[in-house]
Amino acid sequence: MGNIKQDFVKFENVDKSYDGKVLVVKDLNLDIAEGEFLTLLGPSGSGKTTTLMMLAGFETPTNGEIYLDGSPISSIPPYKRGIGMVFQNYALFPHLSVYENLAFPLKVRKMDKVEIEDRIKRTLDMVSLSEFGNRMPAQLSGGQQQRVAVARALVFDPAVVLMDEPLGALDKNLRESMQYELKSIHEKLGVTVVYVTHDQSEALTMSNRIAVFNDGNVQQLSSPSDLYESPSNSFVAQFIGENNTFTGIVKEISGDKALIQTDSGETIKAKAVSVSSIGEKTNLSLRPERVMINPENDVENHFECEVKEIIYHGDHIRLRVNLLNNSEFILKIRNSDKLSDVSTGDKIKLGWSSSDCRALD
């Protein structure tokens, strides 16, 4: 990592308002390392696409500055930024062949014919479309068109490639295979990618880091595993992965542990992530796969519950139970003989470690 620029792309105190009143991006400070695959993840209207469009040059910051490799770029037009772009609707020229679509950004840059041919051949090989140069976009499947769009964004060796929901129009199986393909291309080329999606599993699969956006702010910027295992607030915990929640009041704090009295009157021992005082309200976050049936005695939290539903998922079994007045409490158990004698309506004992249950704001 010695020569990698950690702030290759830099947003510094960036605001964006379309009407002069409401900020859709608020005081954004974000550094993206050279060669990183960074995903901007969030619900519709959270500011992620606006952030991408400001980097592309299609929108201008209301305040602040964006830097690329140390140089401010907010006043530079999009076509002079050296940035590749992949859109959800592919944006291919329908009247040009695949070859001509890829040649277009190279001709604009006045490259000679030999280099154009060499680059197109290399790039089509990379996206497994070397036999498709003479096809028109309408003769291609959705997945093939998306590969051409990716190839066109990469063919001129851009400093950064931006991708705006590029897999959103594909069906589930194709979308998943394209995720691995894009990840593989990124690993081969080492190009800096900034990727926008609202699909959390897509973000977890592909990214080096993920910036979770909500209401114009980055809620958390972490690796996929940190984001899932250690959400810093309730929004991130709910948005990333599946989550059981309880609300309650802080009764005790000791070191990094807190004792929480839930609304049902029971107490749960949890990790004190973003609570600091007794009497404070909190939301507890607990992943379904962290819950154990018939737990060992050294697990701090033990409760009895009633099984409401058993759903077979092949590699795991999903149980819905009524626990502490929460009839939507979910646990996931690996498919094993452990559950062979459990039926709907049974009373079973559950438990979990305090370190797996997070007290959040």
DSSP annotation string for 272-335: ESS--STT-EEEEEE-GGG-EES--TTSSEEEEEEEEEEEE-SSEEEEEEEETTEEEEEEEEES
Question: Vertex 353, ends 350 and 354: CA angle to 5°?
Answer: 125
Q: What is the pLDDT of residue 339?
A: 67
Q: What is the pLDDT of residue 196?
A: 95
Q: What CATH number has the domain spanning 242-360?
A: 2.40.50.100
Q: How many CA atoms lie within 13 A of 210 on its CB side?
A: 27
Give the phi and the psi of residue 99 in degrees, each rounded to 5.
Answer: -60, -45
Question: Vertex 320, ends 352 and 359: CA angle to 5°?
Answer: 40
Q: How many CA atoms lie within 13 A of 265 on its CB side?
A: 0
C-alpha 261/C-alpha 24 separation (Å) is 37
Question: Vertex 38, ends 32 and 40: CA angle to 5°?
Answer: 110
Query: Measured between alpha carbons, how far is residue 356 from residues 194, 235, 243, 260, 284 in Å?
Result: 31, 17, 11, 14, 10
Domain 9-234 = CATH 2.40.50.140: no
Tell if the pTM clears 0.85, that is, is over it: yes
Q: Hey, what's the torsion of the CAs at 157, 159, 163, 166, to 10 degrees?
A: 10
Query: Measured between alpha carbons, how far is residue 81 from residues 71, 84, 154, 265 in Å?
Result: 11, 9, 14, 59
Count other C-beta atoms under 10 Å from residue 104's C-beta. Answer: 16
What residues in the chain have per-residue pLDDT under 50?
1
C-alpha 51/C-alpha 183 separation (Å) is 22
- β-pair partners for 349: 304
Q: What is the pLDDT of residue 1?
A: 44
Domain assignments of the chain as residue spans, ordered by start: 9-234, 242-360
